[in-house]
Amino acid sequence: MTAAAGRLRAALGTGDGVALVPYLMAGYPDLEGSAQLGRRYAESGAAAIEVGIPFSDPLADGPVIQRVGQAALERGTGMRQALEVTSAVAVAGVPVVLMTYVNPVLAYGVRRFAADAAAAGASGVIVPDLPVEESEPMASWFREAGLDTVFLVAPTSPDERIARIAARSSGFVYCVTLRGVTGARAELAPGLEELLARVRRATDLPLAAGFGISRPEHVRRLRGRADAAVVASALLDRLLHGRDPLELLEAMVAACR
């Protein structure tokens, strides 16, 4: 096992407000720009950083993440380059969790990916199209390398499946706040509190809410219900339009406390 094991749980499960987990796309706006962004996020109070690995068929991602992912691919960002960005972000000292899909991992080689991700300083991996029921042997290679495997629960997940997901997850459980793909939203889904309560009954792992979280008031709504908030499209949309995402990140960090 590597030193990364347990870092996500420790970082997100402090019980002190809501931990913020900003997302960046490896290779956007370019390799150095994405690495620099991750380091700035860490300096601005992020508890952990999610690094997206660009993929041509990102089924869980909305239009903003699709657009920046495609741009990263067109600039030549592949798995090797994404792991270089991971290494450059990890030196900032906060845990890094990779967000990828099954096909890129298979194409790279599962065992090789697990070893190289751990060597790059990653603490865990999110693979949204990897069902918990079909997660072996991929998840076993992640465990062997000391990487947490983070599974997702959705508002449509029945209690028995939430229990299976919670039992197989490590690091934290990713709670998808809405039906559909990622993207900034004006309001959070009305059933969010119920979902978080259902997951909380199934596990003592930290709960991270994601998809649609884009405003400081969204983070405030999570206080006392979720341990962490994942913010992606709202930050990337600012970057797409030439605006510094740090202003929004810092406002959301302040709302976490």
Active-site position among 32, 43, 50, 250: 50
Do residues 40 and 245 touch, judged by C-beta distance below 8 A? no
Q: Round to whole Å and give the CA distance between 59 and 238.
A: 22
Query: In three state form, how does the secondary structure of the chain look?
Result: CCCCCCHHHHHHCCCCCCEEEEEEECCCCCHHHHHHHHHHHHHCCCCCEEEECCCCCCCCCCHHHHHHHHHHHHCCCCHHHHHHHHHHHHCCCCCEEEECCHHHHHHHCHHHHHHHHHHCCEEEEECCCCCHHHCCCHHHHHHHCCCEEECEECCCCCHHHHHHHHHHCCCCEEEECCCCCCCCCCCCCCCHHHHHHHHHHHCCCCEEEECCCCCHHHHHHHCCCCCEEEECHHHHHHHHCCCCCHHHHHHHHHHHC
Whether 61 is catalytic: yes
Active-site position among 16, 43, 61, 194: 61
Q: Round to whole Å and give the CA distance between 231 and 21.
A: 6
Q: What backbone phi and psi angles, to 5 degrees, belong to 117?
A: -65, -45
Q: Which residues carry out catalysis?
A: 50, 61
